[in-house]
Amino acid sequence: MGNYQALSKFILENVGGKENVLSVTHCMTRLRFTLKDDSKVNEDILKKSSEIMTAQFAGGRFQVVIGTHVSDVYNEIQGVTGADKTEEAEVKKTGLNRLIEIITKVITPVLGILTASGLLQGILALLTITNVIDVNDGGYIVLHAMGQAVFYFLPVVLGYTSAKAFNLNPYVGMMLGATLVIPELMTNLVTDKALYTLFDGTMFSTPVYNTFFGIPILFPPNGYQYTVIPVIFITFLGAKVEKILKKIVPPLLAHNLNSFLTILITFPLAILIIGPVTNVLSSLISAGVSGLYEVSPVITSVVVGLLYQPLVIFGLHWPMSAIGINNLAQYGVDYIFPMSFTASFAQTAVVLAVYLKTRSRNQKALAIPAMISGMFCIIEPAIYGFSLPVKKRFAFSMIGGAVGSLIISIFSVKMYAFAFGVLGFVSFINPANSSLGGLYVAIFATIVTMAVSFSLTFFTFKSSEDVVDEETKPLIKQQEVLAPIAGTMQPISSSADETFASKTMGEGVVIFPTGSKVVAPAAGVVTTVFPGGHALGITTENGTEILIHIGIDTVELNGEGFDVQVEVGSKVKQGQTLVNVDFEAIENKGYKSEVLVVILNTDDFLDIISEEKTTVKQAGKMLTLIPFNGKATNDMEVSY
């Protein structure tokens, strides 16, 4: 295991420091931060790190995509922040963002054991087909129990993860889940003869076998084993109950009473109301998706095949996965997962095509681990390193995935276990009759998927899209950056803003202005205009990235005092007006008016030299940028 202290520190600094982190979780490749103040994130700086694939806001959280070593980085960050025990529940999220966050927190931690269960069932099917083992053998019985256990006791496992998601005592969550599946309930609450039937004659017809102090218990005939949704809602209720109890139970009694009262109040309500309702909802969701699939499996498969990979980028694929897991848990078969099965192979094929065409040694070196990861259904390295940077490649991967999904749906292929990538082929073997038909179709669909994505990428590859290694880049001449405004110039370390003063964002200067007009310090394209106009970004023809930040904390003014003259995409000449600023109004509101000029890609230069003078005129010489492949003509020193 590598040392990720430096990377962890870098990430924390650029998400606003540990004090800005409410919570942090991770999946297989990315960190997911819930922050107190999203505006403190230095997204561009994080994206520029060679150790970070990308960083973005998605699903109501800030995500930093690292790779398969994410757990090591997470452990480092967790050690510093203790972010798993924070006030995350106080952050208000609604609608889709909240749903995605909950599903991610509940489902992601159990993916490993679900995959293990799927592999066990697949191996068992292979052993049975090849007559290595008989269904009556003790070995079969043990292996079958191992493969089924996680699904049978899924409410217990999800009770724990749901409780963590809702800030409930996780062991209370486990007990709520365990009580749902205890055999005694199934034995005594479902008898041969029902007392009466509620909603008789409708699709919601439910037999009543027993009562709870006169209240009918609508216990499902098959029990709550193998279910997903009921326990999530039950632990949500438990979290609300516990939160109320913490306010009213004296601290001296809380340790013993809170858990007892939470379970005592929650579980009867769960059995009487939440369980039946959510069990019906779960069935309706599955029936709805199943109905859509029955109406047009072709259209459904194409849509899922196309959209799955874009959903992965934003971490929005979990709701669909939850339905698939629910199907496997309840019915032992699923049609959702097969439609997304070939996606990882499509991405892998794109990487293979790039590997064969690129002249970049760095790209070739990165392609090998990306392909290996892709074969095991970890596709973020392929997405962020190869397909997404050239948008058409990502489209080719989507097309390949859709073709594979279409083939699978045409043959009505199902999956019988949760497993993906090369290890997932065994999940297409039908354990009931050991049929290999689904396996053959899955292999064929995968081959076609890879052929489509590979061919489209390989034959449309252009040298202009290729990555150029640093040592082969053309020479860049030294560049001058002029003062955007007249005033007194000082080292950036003099800034009142600690982030800028520490040079975390890059080298630069701070100007205490005497004018009111801010102009372009160099010719280029406006790449960023922050809301309100307090900050702008310009990228020059040579790729120099310049940030002009006007005032400290002036984002809070919401544009008051700023008259922006350009927009994102505007081509500007050196000296062209960018924004007119009412510095007097800014200062009257208590904000500092300093203007910061920062070279965001400082590491791309051998040196950044400031003029010795402290007073600068507008459009006067301010900085000289010396590239690594250039050489100063005299012994200039960095001085201010």
Q: What are the residue numbers of the active site? A: 27
Answer yes or no: are the C-beta atoms of 531 and 567 closer than 8 Å: no
Rounded to the nearest 10°, the torsion over CA 483, 484, 486, 487 is -80
* CA–CA gap between residue 366 and residue 387 (Å, rounded): 13
* CA–CA gap between residue 10 and residue 159 (Å, rounded): 35
- Strand boundaries in 7-66, DSSP class E: 21-26, 30-35, 54-58, 61-65
- Backbone φ, ψ for residue 518 (5° rounding): -105, 125
* CA–CA gap between residue 470 and residue 462 (Å, rounded): 19
As given in the structure block, the two tokens for residue 419 are 């497993």
Three-state DSSP at 202 gives coil
* CA–CA gap between residue 294 and residue 282 (Å, rounded): 18
Residue 540 vs residues 33, 43, 472, 543, 569: alpha-carbon distances, Å:
32, 20, 20, 5, 12
- CA nearest neighbour of 536 among 44, 99, 10: 44
Answer yes or no: are the C-beta atoms of 25 and 35 closer than 8 Å: no
* CA–CA gap between residue 313 and residue 88 (Å, rounded): 23
* CA–CA gap between residue 166 and residue 158 (Å, rounded): 12
Answer yes or no: are the C-beta atoms of 64 and 49 closer than 8 Å: no
As given in the structure block, the two tokens for residue 40 are 């403190």
* CA–CA gap between residue 100 and residue 93 (Å, rounded): 10
- CA nearest neighbour of 510 among 479, 543, 551: 551
Q: Could you tell me which residues come within 8 angstroms of residue 472 by beta carbon, excluding any fewer than 6 positions away? A: none
* CA–CA gap between residue 445 and residue 423 (Å, rounded): 15
* CA–CA gap between residue 577 and residue 517 (Å, rounded): 7
Q: How many CB atoms lie within 10 A of CB 210?
A: 14
Length of the chain: 640
